Protein backbone atom coordinates (compact mmCIF):
# COMPACT_ATOMS: atom_id res chain seq x y z
CA UNK A 1 0.00 0.00 0.00
CA UNK A 2 2.72 2.45 1.02
CA UNK A 3 4.64 1.35 -2.05
CA UNK A 4 1.61 1.98 -4.27
CA UNK A 5 1.24 5.44 -2.77
CA UNK A 6 4.84 6.23 -3.63
CA UNK A 7 4.36 4.97 -7.19
CA UNK A 8 1.28 7.16 -7.52
CA UNK A 9 3.08 10.25 -6.33
CA UNK A 10 5.96 9.62 -8.73
CA UNK A 11 3.69 9.27 -11.73
CA UNK A 12 0.61 11.31 -10.95
CA UNK A 13 -0.07 14.08 -13.40
CA UNK A 14 3.18 13.48 -15.25
CA UNK A 15 3.18 14.40 -18.90
CA UNK A 16 5.32 11.97 -20.87
CA UNK A 17 7.69 13.12 -23.61
CA UNK A 18 6.01 12.86 -26.99
CA UNK A 19 7.80 11.11 -29.86
CA UNK A 20 9.08 13.35 -32.64
CA UNK A 21 7.26 11.18 -35.17
CA UNK A 22 4.41 8.72 -34.89
CA UNK A 23 5.44 5.38 -33.40
CA UNK A 24 3.54 2.43 -34.86
CA UNK A 25 3.65 -0.69 -32.65
CA UNK A 26 2.19 -4.12 -33.19
CA UNK A 27 1.26 -5.93 -29.99
CA UNK A 28 1.86 -9.55 -30.84
CA UNK A 29 2.27 -13.02 -29.40
CA UNK A 30 1.03 -16.12 -31.17
CA UNK A 31 -0.30 -17.48 -27.90
CA UNK A 32 -3.84 -16.53 -26.99
CA UNK A 33 -4.77 -15.26 -23.56
CA UNK A 34 -1.34 -13.83 -22.72
CA UNK A 35 -2.54 -10.24 -22.30
CA UNK A 36 -2.15 -8.74 -25.78
CA UNK A 37 -5.50 -6.97 -25.78
CA UNK A 38 -5.29 -5.98 -22.12
CA UNK A 39 -1.83 -4.52 -22.70
CA UNK A 40 -2.87 -2.70 -25.87
CA UNK A 41 -5.87 -0.93 -24.37
CA UNK A 42 -4.32 -0.09 -21.00
CA UNK A 43 -1.05 1.20 -22.42
CA UNK A 44 -3.01 3.23 -24.96
CA UNK A 45 -5.21 4.71 -22.25
CA UNK A 46 -2.23 5.43 -19.98
CA UNK A 47 -0.33 7.18 -22.79
CA UNK A 48 -3.39 9.24 -23.70
CA UNK A 49 -4.02 10.18 -20.06
CA UNK A 50 -0.43 11.43 -19.93
CA UNK A 51 -1.03 13.76 -22.86
CA UNK A 52 -0.34 11.68 -25.97
CA UNK A 53 -2.68 11.23 -28.92
CA UNK A 54 -3.19 7.50 -29.41
CA UNK A 55 -4.93 5.35 -32.00
CA UNK A 56 -5.73 1.70 -31.28
CA UNK A 57 -6.40 -0.55 -34.25
CA UNK A 58 -8.36 -3.62 -33.28
CA UNK A 59 -7.23 -6.35 -35.64
CA UNK A 60 -8.77 -9.29 -33.80
CA UNK A 61 -12.18 -10.46 -35.10
CA UNK A 62 -13.22 -11.00 -31.47
CA UNK A 63 -13.19 -7.22 -31.04
CA UNK A 64 -12.06 -7.37 -27.42
CA UNK A 65 -10.03 -4.18 -27.66
CA UNK A 66 -13.05 -2.34 -29.07
CA UNK A 67 -15.17 -3.63 -26.17
CA UNK A 68 -12.64 -2.58 -23.55
CA UNK A 69 -12.45 0.91 -25.02
CA UNK A 70 -16.24 1.30 -24.92
CA UNK A 71 -16.46 1.41 -28.71
CA UNK A 72 -19.58 0.25 -30.52
CA UNK A 73 -18.66 -2.66 -32.80
CA UNK A 74 -21.80 -4.54 -33.73
CA UNK A 75 -21.98 -6.06 -37.20
CA UNK A 76 -23.14 -2.98 -39.16
CA UNK A 77 -20.53 -0.58 -37.74
CA UNK A 78 -17.86 0.54 -40.25
CA UNK A 79 -14.66 -1.13 -39.09
CA UNK A 80 -11.12 -2.16 -39.87
CA UNK A 81 -12.63 -4.74 -42.22
CA UNK A 82 -13.85 -1.96 -44.53
CA UNK A 83 -10.42 -0.37 -44.46
CA UNK A 84 -8.60 -3.63 -45.27
CA UNK A 85 -10.94 -5.17 -47.81
CA UNK A 86 -12.65 -2.16 -49.43
CA UNK A 87 -9.98 0.47 -48.95
CA UNK A 88 -12.25 2.74 -46.86
CA UNK A 89 -10.10 5.49 -45.27
CA UNK A 90 -9.39 4.93 -41.57
CA UNK A 91 -10.74 8.43 -40.92
CA UNK A 92 -14.20 7.10 -41.89
CA UNK A 93 -14.14 4.17 -39.46
CA UNK A 94 -12.28 5.57 -36.45
CA UNK A 95 -14.25 6.31 -33.26
CA UNK A 96 -13.30 8.39 -30.24
CA UNK A 97 -13.01 6.50 -26.95
CA UNK A 98 -15.74 7.96 -24.71
CA UNK A 99 -13.77 7.82 -21.45
CA UNK A 100 -10.28 8.96 -22.39
CA UNK A 101 -9.42 12.16 -24.19
CA UNK A 102 -6.89 11.78 -26.97
CA UNK A 103 -7.67 8.09 -27.46
CA UNK A 104 -9.46 6.71 -30.50
CA UNK A 105 -10.05 3.26 -31.92
CA UNK A 106 -10.62 1.59 -35.25
CA UNK A 107 -13.03 -1.15 -34.18
CA UNK A 108 -13.15 -4.77 -35.30
CA UNK A 109 -16.46 -6.44 -36.01
CA UNK A 110 -17.25 -10.07 -36.63
CA UNK A 111 -16.81 -9.36 -40.40
CA UNK A 112 -13.09 -9.43 -39.80
CA UNK A 113 -13.22 -13.21 -39.30
CA UNK A 114 -13.77 -13.51 -43.06
CA UNK A 115 -11.06 -11.04 -43.99
CA UNK A 116 -8.28 -13.57 -43.45
CA UNK A 117 -9.64 -15.50 -46.43
CA UNK A 118 -10.91 -12.55 -48.49
CA UNK A 119 -7.52 -10.86 -48.35
CA UNK A 120 -5.85 -13.81 -50.07
CA UNK A 121 -7.20 -12.87 -53.49
CA UNK A 122 -6.67 -9.10 -53.17
CA UNK A 123 -3.75 -7.18 -54.64
CA UNK A 124 -1.04 -6.06 -52.23
CA UNK A 125 -2.67 -8.19 -49.58
CA UNK A 126 0.18 -7.82 -47.08
CA UNK A 127 0.45 -4.04 -47.25
CA UNK A 128 -3.16 -2.92 -47.03
CA UNK A 129 -3.06 -1.91 -43.38
CA UNK A 130 0.29 -0.14 -43.82
CA UNK A 131 -1.16 1.93 -46.66
CA UNK A 132 -4.30 2.73 -44.70
CA UNK A 133 -2.25 3.89 -41.69
CA UNK A 134 0.15 6.05 -43.67
CA UNK A 135 -2.73 7.67 -45.54
CA UNK A 136 -4.45 8.38 -42.22
CA UNK A 137 -1.33 9.83 -40.61
CA UNK A 138 -0.86 12.08 -43.63
CA UNK A 139 -4.48 13.30 -43.47
CA UNK A 140 -5.75 16.21 -41.36
CA UNK A 141 -7.64 13.77 -39.09
CA UNK A 142 -4.56 11.68 -38.36
CA UNK A 143 -2.00 14.47 -38.07
CA UNK A 144 -0.60 14.68 -34.55
CA UNK A 145 -1.12 11.01 -33.64
CA UNK A 146 1.80 10.03 -31.39
CA UNK A 147 1.19 6.29 -31.11
CA UNK A 148 -0.62 3.70 -33.16
CA UNK A 149 -1.07 0.41 -31.29
CA UNK A 150 -2.27 -2.59 -33.26
CA UNK A 151 -3.93 -5.43 -31.32
CA UNK A 152 -3.30 -8.72 -33.14
CA UNK A 153 -5.17 -12.00 -33.20
CA UNK A 154 -3.28 -15.02 -31.80
CA UNK A 155 -2.10 -16.46 -35.12
CA UNK A 156 0.24 -15.63 -37.95
CA UNK A 157 -2.28 -15.19 -40.73
CA UNK A 158 -2.67 -12.32 -43.15
CA UNK A 159 -4.11 -10.04 -40.47
CA UNK A 160 -1.02 -10.35 -38.29
CA UNK A 161 1.24 -10.07 -41.34
CA UNK A 162 -0.53 -6.82 -42.23
CA UNK A 163 0.17 -5.58 -38.69
CA UNK A 164 3.87 -6.54 -38.94
CA UNK A 165 4.20 -4.75 -42.27
CA UNK A 166 2.45 -1.64 -40.94
CA UNK A 167 4.53 -1.30 -37.77
CA UNK A 168 8.12 -0.49 -37.04
CA UNK A 169 8.11 -1.85 -33.51
CA UNK A 170 6.85 -5.14 -32.09
CA UNK A 171 5.60 -5.10 -28.51
CA UNK A 172 5.44 -8.57 -26.94
CA UNK A 173 3.48 -9.21 -23.74
CA UNK A 174 4.70 -12.34 -21.99
CA UNK A 175 2.62 -14.15 -19.41
CA UNK A 176 4.70 -15.22 -16.41
CA UNK A 177 3.55 -18.83 -16.51
CA UNK A 178 4.49 -22.28 -17.79
CA UNK A 179 5.48 -22.42 -21.44
CA UNK A 180 5.75 -18.65 -21.62
CA UNK A 181 8.87 -18.89 -23.73
CA UNK A 182 7.50 -21.67 -25.86
CA UNK A 183 6.30 -20.19 -29.11
CA UNK A 184 8.43 -17.11 -28.59
CA UNK A 185 11.19 -18.45 -30.82
CA UNK A 186 8.59 -19.13 -33.50
CA UNK A 187 7.35 -15.56 -33.16
CA UNK A 188 10.90 -14.22 -33.48
CA UNK A 189 11.48 -16.38 -36.58
CA UNK A 190 8.35 -14.98 -38.14
CA UNK A 191 9.40 -11.43 -37.37
CA UNK A 192 12.75 -12.20 -39.03
CA UNK A 193 10.94 -13.49 -42.12
CA UNK A 194 8.84 -10.34 -42.32
CA UNK A 195 11.96 -8.24 -41.86
CA UNK A 196 13.76 -10.01 -44.70
CA UNK A 197 10.91 -9.92 -47.15
CA UNK A 198 8.42 -7.20 -46.36
CA UNK A 199 9.52 -4.70 -43.72
CA UNK A 200 13.27 -4.23 -43.08
CA UNK A 201 12.63 -1.79 -40.19
CA UNK A 202 10.63 -4.20 -38.05
CA UNK A 203 12.18 -5.01 -34.67
CA UNK A 204 11.16 -6.14 -31.20
CA UNK A 205 11.41 -2.94 -29.18
CA UNK A 206 9.43 -3.82 -26.07
CA UNK A 207 8.66 -6.82 -23.89
CA UNK A 208 6.27 -6.56 -20.95
CA UNK A 209 5.88 -9.25 -18.31
CA UNK A 210 2.21 -9.67 -17.43
CA UNK A 211 -0.02 -11.64 -15.05
CA UNK A 212 2.87 -11.81 -12.61
CA UNK A 213 2.03 -13.66 -9.43
CA UNK A 214 4.62 -12.67 -6.83
CA UNK A 215 3.74 -15.66 -4.64
CA UNK A 216 5.03 -18.23 -7.09
CA UNK A 217 8.66 -19.01 -7.77
CA UNK A 218 7.71 -19.90 -11.30
CA UNK A 219 6.70 -16.33 -12.12
CA UNK A 220 10.03 -15.03 -10.83
CA UNK A 221 11.89 -17.70 -12.82
CA UNK A 222 10.08 -16.83 -16.04
CA UNK A 223 10.73 -13.13 -15.45
CA UNK A 224 14.45 -13.75 -14.85
CA UNK A 225 14.73 -15.89 -17.93
CA UNK A 226 13.05 -13.29 -20.14
CA UNK A 227 15.26 -10.51 -18.77
CA UNK A 228 18.34 -12.65 -19.38
CA UNK A 229 17.43 -13.20 -23.03
CA UNK A 230 16.10 -9.70 -23.71
CA UNK A 231 17.82 -7.30 -21.32
CA UNK A 232 17.32 -4.27 -23.56
CA UNK A 233 13.72 -4.86 -24.52
CA UNK A 234 12.19 -6.01 -21.24
CA UNK A 235 10.45 -3.28 -19.27
CA UNK A 236 11.25 -2.76 -15.59
CA UNK A 237 7.53 -2.46 -14.91
CA UNK A 238 5.78 -5.79 -14.38
CA UNK A 239 2.00 -6.16 -14.54
CA UNK A 240 0.63 -8.20 -11.64
CA UNK A 241 -2.23 -10.64 -11.89
CA UNK A 242 -5.10 -8.42 -10.84
CA UNK A 243 -8.84 -8.92 -10.57
CA UNK A 244 -9.43 -5.23 -11.32
CA UNK A 245 -7.63 -5.58 -14.67
CA UNK A 246 -9.80 -8.54 -15.66
CA UNK A 247 -13.04 -6.88 -14.48
CA UNK A 248 -12.61 -3.62 -16.37
CA UNK A 249 -13.57 -4.85 -19.90
CA UNK A 250 -17.01 -6.04 -18.76
CA UNK A 251 -17.69 -2.39 -17.86
CA UNK A 252 -16.51 -1.25 -21.30
CA UNK A 253 -13.49 0.32 -19.67
CA UNK A 254 -9.77 0.03 -19.28
CA UNK A 255 -8.41 -0.37 -15.76
CA UNK A 256 -6.96 3.13 -16.20
CA UNK A 257 -10.46 4.59 -15.80
CA UNK A 258 -12.17 1.70 -14.00
CA UNK A 259 -9.78 1.75 -11.03
CA UNK A 260 -6.94 4.20 -11.66
CA UNK A 261 -5.44 3.68 -8.20
CA UNK A 262 -5.24 -0.10 -8.42
CA UNK A 263 -1.81 -1.66 -8.63
CA UNK A 264 -2.65 -2.97 -12.10
CA UNK A 265 -3.38 0.55 -13.37
CA UNK A 266 -0.19 1.84 -11.78
CA UNK A 267 1.84 -0.87 -13.49
CA UNK A 268 0.43 0.03 -16.87
CA UNK A 269 1.13 3.69 -16.15
CA UNK A 270 4.74 2.81 -15.30
CA UNK A 271 5.03 0.73 -18.48
CA UNK A 272 3.61 3.60 -20.54
CA UNK A 273 6.09 5.97 -18.94
CA UNK A 274 8.99 3.64 -19.83
CA UNK A 275 7.70 3.32 -23.34
CA UNK A 276 7.55 7.08 -23.78
CA UNK A 277 10.99 7.62 -22.21
CA UNK A 278 12.60 4.93 -24.35
CA UNK A 279 11.15 6.44 -27.50
CA UNK A 280 12.63 9.77 -26.54
CA UNK A 281 15.97 8.45 -25.22
CA UNK A 282 16.78 5.92 -27.93
CA UNK A 283 16.17 8.47 -30.63
CA UNK A 284 14.02 5.82 -32.29
CA UNK A 285 11.48 8.58 -32.41
CA UNK A 286 13.67 10.83 -34.50
CA UNK A 287 14.38 8.15 -37.09
CA UNK A 288 10.78 7.02 -37.16
CA UNK A 289 9.00 7.26 -40.47
CA UNK A 290 5.33 6.82 -40.87
CA UNK A 291 5.80 3.42 -42.48
P1 LIG B 1 -4.94 -11.97 -25.50
O2 LIG B 1 -5.38 -10.70 -26.16
O3 LIG B 1 -3.48 -12.22 -25.60
O4 LIG B 1 -5.74 -13.14 -25.94
P5 LIG B 1 -6.18 -10.87 -23.13
O6 LIG B 1 -5.58 -9.53 -22.96
O7 LIG B 1 -7.54 -10.95 -23.73
O8 LIG B 1 -5.19 -11.82 -23.92
O9 LIG B 1 -6.18 -11.57 -21.70
C10 LIG B 1 -6.69 -12.88 -21.51
C11 LIG B 1 -7.54 -12.92 -20.24
O12 LIG B 1 -6.70 -12.65 -19.12
C13 LIG B 1 -8.64 -11.88 -20.22
O14 LIG B 1 -9.76 -12.45 -19.59
C15 LIG B 1 -8.06 -10.75 -19.39
O16 LIG B 1 -9.06 -10.01 -18.72
C17 LIG B 1 -7.19 -11.51 -18.40
N18 LIG B 1 -6.03 -10.73 -17.97
C19 LIG B 1 -5.12 -10.08 -18.74
N20 LIG B 1 -4.17 -9.48 -17.99
C21 LIG B 1 -4.48 -9.75 -16.70
C22 LIG B 1 -3.88 -9.42 -15.44
N23 LIG B 1 -2.77 -8.70 -15.36
N24 LIG B 1 -4.49 -9.90 -14.31
C25 LIG B 1 -5.60 -10.64 -14.39
N26 LIG B 1 -6.22 -10.98 -15.53
C27 LIG B 1 -5.66 -10.55 -16.68
MG1 LIG C 1 -6.78 -10.41 -27.71
Ligand 1, atom 6, lies closest to the CA of 35
pLDDT digits (tens, 9 = 90+) for 1-28: 667 766 776 777 778 899 999 999 999 9
pLDDT tens column, 138-184? 999 999 999 999 999 998 899 999 999 999 999 999 998 877 788 78
- Ligand 1 atom nearest to CA at 242: 24
Question: Is domain 18-282 annotated with CATH 3.90.76.10?
Answer: no
71-117 pLDDT, tens digit per residue, is 999 999 999 999 999 999 999 999 999 999 999 999 999 999 999 99
Q: Read off the pTM.
A: 0.94
Q: Which ligand approaches the C-alpha of residue 39 most closely? A: 1
Mean pLDDT of the chain, nearest integer: 92
**Nearest residue to 244 via CA among 32, 5, 38:** 38
C-beta atoms surrounding 247 within 10 Å:
15
Which atom of ligand 1 is closest in space to residue 32's alpha carbon?
Answer: 4
Does residue 210 have a pLDDT over 80? yes
Give the model's pLDDT for residue 18.
93
Write down the domain spans for the chain.
18-282
DSSP code string of 153-213: PSS-SHHHHHHHHH-SEEEEEEESSTTSSTTHHHHHHHHHHHHHHT-TT-EEEEEEEEEE-
Q: Which residues have C-beta atoms less than 6 Å from ligand 1? A: 32-38, 64, 154, 210-211, 239, 241-242, 245-246, 249, 264
Percent of the chain with pLDDT over 90: 82
Whether the pLDDT of residue 288 is over 80: the answer is no
CA of 160 to the centre of ligand 1 (A): 19
Task: Please give the pLDDT value at position 15.
Answer: 83
Ligand with smallest separation from the Cα of 29: 1
Residue 140 has a CB neighbour count (10 Å cut-off) of 7
Amino acid sequence: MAKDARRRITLAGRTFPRPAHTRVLTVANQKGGVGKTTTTVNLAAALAQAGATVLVIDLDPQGNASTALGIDHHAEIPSVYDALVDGTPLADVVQACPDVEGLSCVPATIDLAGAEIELVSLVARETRLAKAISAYLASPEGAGVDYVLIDCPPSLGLLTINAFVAAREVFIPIQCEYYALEGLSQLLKNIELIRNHLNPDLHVSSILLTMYDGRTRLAAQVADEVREHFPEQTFKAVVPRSVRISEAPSHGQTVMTYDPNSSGALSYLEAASEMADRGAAHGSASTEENA
